[in-house]
Amino acid sequence: MYKNTDPFLITVLRALITYMRYYKNMNNYQKLKNKRRILTLIIFALILFIYLYGKGRQRAVAGIPDPVQTEASGETYLSVGGYDMTVKFLYEYEIEALVVSTHNAHDGTGAKLAPRDIVLCWGSVAALNETIDFHWNQSGRFYSWHVDTYDEVNAAGGVQGVNEHSSNNHLVPADSKIRRQINSIKTGDHIRLKGYLINIDGTASNGSTFYWYSSTTRSDTGDHSCELIYVTEVEWLP
């Protein structure tokens, strides 16, 4: 279950039941007087629920295997932000993972091309995501994590283990349906993505160029270590 979901919902339900019992015992004047208060409470509860759960909640999922990539060939073509782009397929890519953070990009050609980044984890990191607070964070188009003491991550293979079982992924949707599905992904989702790791090269009519290349290994860190995925299929798993 998501962290704190049950206690929160149980508390809200108990409060609503108690209030409804109290409301039944009011006279008509008291009921009329309290209608505005009830409406305010309902609106507040809805806003609180959306705030807490609209973006999802952290959880743990055990038994998620490593991503699979196999060599691929071929390419496709896109016109984005004034650039004619060649999208080269490097590897066919399938990743089952737990979503631990999401970020929407808004500015520039890169945002038009890949409007959403998601941080994914699998293996021991996904299994321990509730036991260990990784403090997942995204800033710009990068992700980071930290723990209070590094002894905490020994069970996940240490720093190297966490880095090799988590990744930041720039998602290029293959079509409008995939774009809508990508926009629906939230923290706590257990998903499977299929598509390709890609390199993109673009040229504009004024001669300016654009390029964006994917990492092809899970063991790198820092700049250029993110996966750039041309997504052809999104699947939600239990």
**What residue segments make up the domains of the chain, in order of their start?**
5-53, 68-237
Q: Residue 137 corresponds to which amino acid?
A: N
Q: Is the full-model pTM beyond 0.85?
A: no
Q: Which CATH number fits domain 68-237: 2.60.40, 1.10.1760, 2.40.50, 4.10.260?
A: 2.40.50
d(CA 210, CA 86): 10
10 Å Cβ neighbour count for 15? 12
pLDDT by residue for the chain (238 residues), tens only, comes to: 343 345 555 666 676 677 666 666 666 656 556 666 666 656 655 555 444 445 579 999 999 999 999 999 999 999 999 999 999 999 999 999 999 999 999 999 999 999 999 999 999 999 999 999 999 999 999 999 999 999 999 999 999 999 999 999 999 999 999 999 999 999 999 999 999 999 999 999 999 999 999 999 999 999 999 999 999 999 999 9
Q: CA 237 from chain center: how many Å?
A: 14
The residues pairing with 227 across neighbouring beta strands, listed in sequence order, are 169
